[in-house]
Chain A
Amino acid sequence: MDKITHNHDEQQRRLLQEYIFNLEDVQEQAEELSAAHEKLKQSQEMLRAVVDSTTHGLCLLRNNIFTWCNEAFLDILGWRKEEVIGKAIDLIHPHFVEDAKSGIIFGTSPKTMREHNLLHKDGHCVPCLVSGRILQLDNPASYILSITDFSRRKQMEQELRRHSERLEEIVKERTAKLLIANEHLHEEINERKWTEKALRESEEKYRTILQSIKEGYFELDLSGNIIFFNEAACRSSQYSTEEIMGMHYQRYCTTESVMKISKMLREISSPEKPEKRIDFEIICKNGKIIIVEASVTVLLDQVGEPAGLRFVTRDVTERKKAQEEREKLIRELREALASVKILSGLLPICSCCKKIRNDEGYWEQIESYIRDRSDADFTHGICPECRKKLYPNI
């Protein structure tokens, strides 16, 4: 009896063990199923959220009849849900079925999108990008369509195209203008180059002339400092080029000349223009004073404002000396001439009264005429012939 009970207990325990394991297994499967269900639910919610929030219109079709669509689909085409569900595809696209058959809608990839004009409820066409995908798991006649309204994008594209064309025109215009401007610029540059070259040559020429002439040449700035000079200016003053550069005119001019030049410098900016020619005296390095005759012009800066004076000088010391000597001689001669009164030449005399016609054409008594033009004077008497004639009785 004990043995039977024992075996029965063992058997019971074995069965119970199997039952427990089975139960655990089922429980585990149930938990897994529940987890999978939860996951599916979450996934479904997520999918719904995506479908509801997307701006892409989505719809499901079975045998070309709408079975489902999202809000975006209705927004794009202006329909209400109840107006779409159960209706055929030609509600939005009369030739869609043909297009689907020809494979225009269903590309090899769902990313393949085609442009279609879909019918809006109010009758106008909405340009859309459409992609389709057959739901193979379900039925070949079932497919999902995704539509994207790109009318706004199209408008923007047109706008962009217009802007782009306008931009191109502007660029063309600007390029043309730029080319012209560039040509002008080239011409100007060439002209300027030519002018500069001519200027350089001219400057060189004048520099050479300036350095080779006998006349001294120097320029003073408004303060009276020498800012430019030629070799002749150095030679005549006997100062070296280093000494003369920047030297103030008061250092090498006599007091009288300083006054003359300072007056000219003052007059530069005044309406009264300075004299064009002056004579002044230069104190040479060795102390010798030379007289120069100068031609003076106003030195202008780049904007045409007076910047100083330019002098072209000629040493006239010798000439002045000669002139002074000549004048002295003339003066002396005049004095001598004034003291010696000699009558000479033909004198028109009246053969009757003996009056003489003077330079003014008047007839003058011979006494006064001779008295005025000589040192002789008269003492009056009567000669014997006249006495006999006038006083026969005496």
Chain B
Amino acid sequence: MKIRKILIVDDEQIILSYLEKKFTKLDYSVYLAGDGEEAVKQAFLNNPDIILLDIKLPKLNGIDVCKKLKADERTKNIPILILSARAQASEIKIGIAAGADKYLCKPMSFPDILSEIRAYDNK
């Protein structure tokens, strides 16, 4: 199955706007969330094909969001790519332990992010 629906979770509006614009241009359906609670809500509501998740989030941080979604039967199979500015090995380990499928460290160019997303096509 090809990835068509993406949930992007980040507290930075600039990042959300830019990624929304770029993915929309490529015909993806894009859902946005600015905090952790909104992210969980959107995930249950829209059942996205993939989630691009920041760690530093208001209300509920990215690690907890990841755990919650991976613990739920409805969302446990959704691939979660963490895209965070926290790039230390221990932090990466925590992210992977929380159930993230991949840990991407900021800064990343859009083509690189796209290439990571496309890697989940037909998986």
Contact = CB atoms under 8 A, between A and B. Distances in A.
Judge: A and B partners, yes or no. Answer: yes
A22 to B, nearest CB: 7
A80 interface: no
Contacts of A11: 85
B86 A20 contact: no
Interface string A11-55: 111101111111011000000000000000000000000000000
Nearest to B21: A25
B7 to A, nearest CB: 18
Interface stretch (B28-36, B63-71, B73-81, B104-112): B104-112
A10 interface: yes
B85 A18 contact: no
A300 B30 CA distance: 112
Contacts, number: 44
B18 A16 contact: no
Interface string A206-228: 00000000000000000000000
B76 to A, nearest CB: 28
Nearest to A25: B18
Contacts of B14: 18, 21-22
B87 A14 contact: no
A17 B106 contact: yes
B95 to A, nearest CB: 14
Size class of the contact patch on chain B: 10 to 19
B18 A13 contact: no
Contacts of B107: 13, 16-17, 19-20
A8 to B, nearest CB: 11
B116 interface: no
Nearest to A10: B85
A6 interface: yes
- Chain B, interface SS category: loop
A13 B106 contact: yes
A168 interface: no
A267 interface: no
B12 A13 contact: no
B119 interface: no
Q: Which bucket holds chain A's interface residue count?
A: 10 to 19
B117 to A, nearest CB: 16
B122 interface: no
B115 interface: no
A19 B106 CA distance: 11
B33 to A, nearest CB: 17
B97 interface: no
Given A13-B87, A14-B85, A21 B106 contact: no
Nearest to A19: B107
A17 B88 contact: no
A2 to B, nearest CB: 10
Most chain B beta-carbon neighbours within 10 Å: one of A9, A10, A11: A10
Contacts of A16: 106-107
A18 B109 CA distance: 10
Nearest to B112: A20
Contacts of B12: 14, 17-18
A14 B18 CA distance: 14
B93 to A, nearest CB: 15
B56 to A, nearest CB: 8
Contact of A24 (B85, B87, B105, B109): B109
A6 B87 CA distance: 9
Contacts of B18: 21-22, 24-25
A114 to B, nearest CB: 49
Given A14-B12, A25-B18, A20 B109 contact: yes
B15 interface: yes
A25 B21 CA distance: 10
13 contacts: A9-B85, A10-B85, A11-B85, A13-B106, A17-B15, A17-B85, A19-B107, A20-B108, A20-B109, A21-B19, A21-B110, A24-B110, A25-B21
Interface of A: 6, 9-14, 16-22, 24-25
Q: Which 3 A-B residue pairs are closest in the complex by CB-CB distance?
A: A13-B85, A16-B107, A17-B107
Given A10-B86, A20-B108, A24-B109, 4 more contacts: A13-B85, A18-B14, A21-B14, A24-B110
